[in-house]
Amino acid sequence: MPSGRVSLFVTCIVDQVFPSVGLAMADVIERLGYEVEFRQDQTCCGQPAFNSGYPEEAATVARHFLRVFEGAEYIVAPSGSCGSMISHHYAELFPRDAEMERRTHELEPRVYEFSRFLLEVAQTDDVGAKFDGVVTYHDSCHALREMQIKQGPRRLLGKVRGLTLKEMDAAEECCGFGGTFSVKFPEVSGAMARTKIDSIQKTGASTVVSIDSSCLMQLQGAISRAGLPIRTMHLAEVLASR
Amino acid sequence: MKPATAQPGLGIHETLGDARLQLAIYTATQRLIDHRKKAVASDVLPAYQDLRTLAHQIKRHTIEHLDYYLEQVEANVTARGGKVVFCEDANEVADFVLKLAKEKGERLIVKSKSMTTEEVHLNERLESHKLEAVETDLGEYLLQLAHQRPYHIVAPALHMTRHDVADVLTESLGVAREIEPEKQTKIARATLREKFLEAGIGITGANFVVAGSGAVVVVENEGNARLTSSAPRIHIAVAGIEKLIPSAKDLAVFLKLLGRSATGQPLTVYTSFLSGPRREDEPDGPEEFYLVLLDGGRTKLLADEGKRESLYCIRCGACLNHCPVYRKIGGHNYPWVYSGPIGAIITPQFHGIDTDPWLPFASSLCGACLEVCPVKIDIPKVLLKLRAEVTASGAKGKRERTAFRIWAWVMGKPRLFALFGSLAAHFSPRPKNGAWIRRLSWPMNPPPLPAWLSQRDLPAPAERSFRSQWKSRKAAR
């Protein structure tokens, strides 16, 4: 039985819009025998400011994050994008601050995207989940290209009883969200989502799974607008199903 | 150059609404994506990733020692009987060609594909002085006839279907309408052959300029660049100063990457090594050779360590093909001749960030460009740096900066963050059965919500946030 203390970083979007994803993640991790905590002072990773060209404002938020998660053993987030912001970009935010840089590097190796935590720390690809249906998996860009997460989530889905995984052609193509890009270039963003959805539809899957809630918000928003019978689910929700 | 625009033009809207064009772009780029994927697969090219790293290192070395290699190339070209002409800006290139043509009494110029000459609008300048400049690359020729600029770095007429091509040929040459590509090519070939035979000057681009030998390397598939460089009595090669590589052995790296990344070809059909005018013992080649090296804003980038890698580009076009934004908006909505991700990072650096401040933001930062870049230019990183420069310049307005300042302040106050969250959840409309919001009316629709809702439905904030549910969950145990 593995042991250790997991501190959840649920991300601002899961906290405020998709709390069921955070609860599902907590359930799965607890079932594996970990002690799970949620630090109430957490807010956001700062990525919206960073990607919009406001690194100083992002640094303000990053400072808060570093304070909140001081001393945490494992920090697990239901997101590749927020996870990557912390482990790949925080260091750039403090170019002339050796102390902050040190704290950032000290934190980096303890931040895990949810699927990676299951596979690499808990060392399991079977969490005893059961889910009836055909699903297709959407590779979220930052997880795929900044964190090299590709096969892991598929391995986990492969062990879910009752689940059939059907790959789509455009699995690695961006959903068009891109943070503030989605509202700065709404038409382009919407067109990208619809291309992705065409590819999803071709698989015949009734569920799209991803490890990032922001991609899923973009896809579900466009699916809902088009009135299609497809639903989106976070990997944590699938793995918590029994 | 285009006038400055704070926002992209209506062109994007029109391109997105043109179903035929959308299909043409998507299909053409998908073909290039598929071909590249096969050509760099690990069973075909096991060293692919190592080659990318090497290519990046060679380019970094060359760019960091550019002064040395520029002197070296000048010495070597001169030793072979050619002449190097350094041009600071676009006008100087055109001035040089005009002066040379006048001096030598030449009126007809054939050109093979060169993005650098597109940068300097050479054809327009030459035509305004009653010289005839004819593009000989099939795609470029069609664009010249249609009075359009390249849609793509490598496939300039990527957006044209064969029906479009038939229209262009019929309208401008008065020939019978042919929709078969082979027959269309024959029509163009017949016209272009005449031009090759008559022209006194041939202008080519350069994919690589070998500093150690003074050779210009041109890769192509149609043979027109080889003819352009050898049939007319004068050959002018125009290249940006960043095209230098130290020695011919470096080509072993770059030639493996360029064709594969661009079109999925292990090598292009022709790879020409052009080094100076014809020597006495040679049967053919030009009598005179000039290498025009253009700065055109490039040295500005040398000073910036964080963004300098933008100069490593070998113009393969892979980032365009793989960019989900390029695949939607196409090439002509980018403000300059270079489109796609590479255009988005070099345009603001060459022309200044004030010219088109929206450009670095027109990306979802998906990273597909970096993933396929044969010289590993970290385009997303450069985009982020440019975004920060744009906001620092004030081009985005005070309102956005203030909004992000307040946002960042709230993110450091967890209780306030939670309070705002519960207020939003309380006042948000809540469609029945968990459906998503289709529309919002005042005052519940502040920016950026209307932009979101223009394309997608919106989830209502959760009735109870995670943090609130977590407290009850813990209390229940």
Q: Kindly report, residue by residue over B381-402, the tens digit of the pLDDT.
A: 999 999 999 999 998 889 999 9
CB of B403 within 8 Å of a chain A CB? The answer is no
Report pLDDT for A3: 79
DSSP string, B386-409: HHHHHHHTTTT-HHHHHHHHHHHH
How far CA A76 is from CA of A20, A36, B52, in Å, comes to: 16, 10, 33
ipTM of the complex: 0.97
Mean pLDDT, rounded, for A18-37 = 97
Report pLDDT for B5: 54
Q: Mean pLDDT across chain B, nearest whole number?
A: 95
Quick check: A54 and B388 CB within 8 A?
yes
Residue with tokens 């993933």: B371
pLDDT by residue (tens digit) across A159-187? 999 999 999 999 999 999 999 999 999 99
Mean pLDDT, rounded, for A135-148 = 98
**Parallel/antiparallel/unpaired status of strands B234-240 and B208-210:** unpaired
Q: A-B interface: how many C-beta pairs under 8 angstroms?
A: 202
Report pLDDT for A201: 98
Return the SS3 of B95: helix
The tokens of B419 are what? 């309070």
3-state helix, strand and coil shares in percent for chain A, rounded to the nearest 5:
55, 15, 30
d(CA A142, CA A174) in angstroms, rounded, equals 10
pLDDT category of residue B477 using cuts at 50, 70 and 90: confident
Say whether pLDDT at A24 is over 90.
yes
Picking from B96, B138, B146, B142, the residue whose alpha carbon sits closest to that of residue B117 is: B96
d(CA A187, CA A189) in angstroms, rounded, equals 5
d(CA B211, CA B66) in angstroms, rounded, equals 10
Widest pairwise Cα distance in chain A: 53
Mean pLDDT, rounded, for A28-54 = 97
**If you measure CA to CA, which chain B residue comes closest to A178?**
B364
**Distance from CA of residue A110 to its chain's centroid?**
16
CB burial of residue A59 (10 Å; 0-12, 13-18, 19+): buried
**Distance from CA of residue A97 to its chain's centroid?**
29
d(CA B307, CA B346) in angstroms, rounded, equals 9
Q: Mean pLDDT across chain A, nearest whole number?
A: 97
d(CA B381, CA B370) in angstroms, rounded, equals 9
Half-sphere exposure of A171 (CA within 13 A, CB side): 23
pLDDT by residue (tens digit) across B307-338? 999 999 999 999 999 999 999 999 999 999 99
Say whether pLDDT at A102 is over 50.
yes
Return the SS3 of A37: strand
**DSSP code, position B212:** T
Report pLDDT for A4: 92
Report pLDDT for B453: 98
CB of B37 within 8 Å of a chain A CB? The answer is no
CB A78 within 8 A of CB A21: yes
pLDDT by residue (tens digit) across A112-134? 999 999 999 999 999 999 999 99
CA angle, B255 then B261 then B264, to 5°: 95
pLDDT category of residue B153 using cuts at 50, 70 and 90: very high
pLDDT by residue (tens digit) across B88-124? 998 999 999 999 999 999 999 999 999 999 998 899 8
d(CA B88, CA B17) in angstroms, rounded, equals 41
CB of A150 within 8 Å of a chain B CB? The answer is no
CB of A101 within 8 Å of a chain B CB? The answer is no
Report pLDDT for B3: 40
Total H helices, total E strands in chain A: 14, 8
Q: Which residues of B touch A180 (CB under 8 A)?
A: 361, 448
pLDDT category of residue B48 using cuts at 50, 70 and 90: very high
Say whether pLDDT at B142 is over 70.
yes
d(CA A172, CA B30) in angstroms, rounded, equals 13
Mean pLDDT, rounded, for B69-89 = 97
Q: Rounded to a whole number, what is the distance in Å from the CA of B401 to chain A's nearest CA?
A: 8
d(CA A146, CA B371) in angstroms, rounded, equals 10
Conformation bin of residue B428: beta by default, left when phi > 0, alpha when psi is -120 to 50: beta
The pTM is what?
Answer: 0.96
Quick check: B466 and A63 CB within 8 A?
no
Quick check: A54 and B448 CB within 8 A?
no
Q: Rounded to a whole number, what is the distance in Å from the CA of B150 to chain A's nearest CA?
A: 21
Helix (H) or strand (E) holding B279: none
d(CA A126, CA A157) in angstroms, rounded, equals 9
CB A205 within 8 A of CB A137: no
pLDDT by residue (tens digit) across B6-35? 577 789 999 999 999 999 999 999 999 999
Residues 6 or more apart from A180 whose CB is under 8 A from it?
A48, A51, A52, B361, B448
The tokens of B124 are what? 């327009």
Quick check: B324 and A195 CB within 8 A?
yes
Edge to edge, the sheet with strand B244-245 lists B244-245, B208-210, B215-220, B270-274
Mean pLDDT, rounded, for B134-160 = 96
pLDDT category of residue B4 using cuts at 50, 70 and 90: very low
Range name among A35-39, A230-234, B123-127, B324-328 with the lowest pLDDT average: B123-127
Query: What is the percentage of chain B residues whose pLDDT exceeds 70?
Result: 99
Widest pairwise Cα distance in chain B: 95
DSSP string, A165-177: E---TTTTS--S-
Q: Rounded to a whole number, what is the distance in Å from the CA of B63 to chain A's nearest CA?
A: 24
Half-sphere exposure of A119 (CA within 13 A, CB side): 15
pLDDT category of residue B2 using cuts at 50, 70 and 90: very low
CB B301 within 8 A of CB B130: no
pLDDT category of residue B1 using cuts at 50, 70 and 90: very low
pLDDT by residue (tens digit) across B344-379? 999 999 999 999 999 999 999 999 999 999 999 999
d(CA A24, CA B16) in angstroms, rounded, equals 39
d(CA B334, CA B326) in angstroms, rounded, equals 9
Q: What part of B 219-278 touches A (C-beta under 8 Å)?
A: none
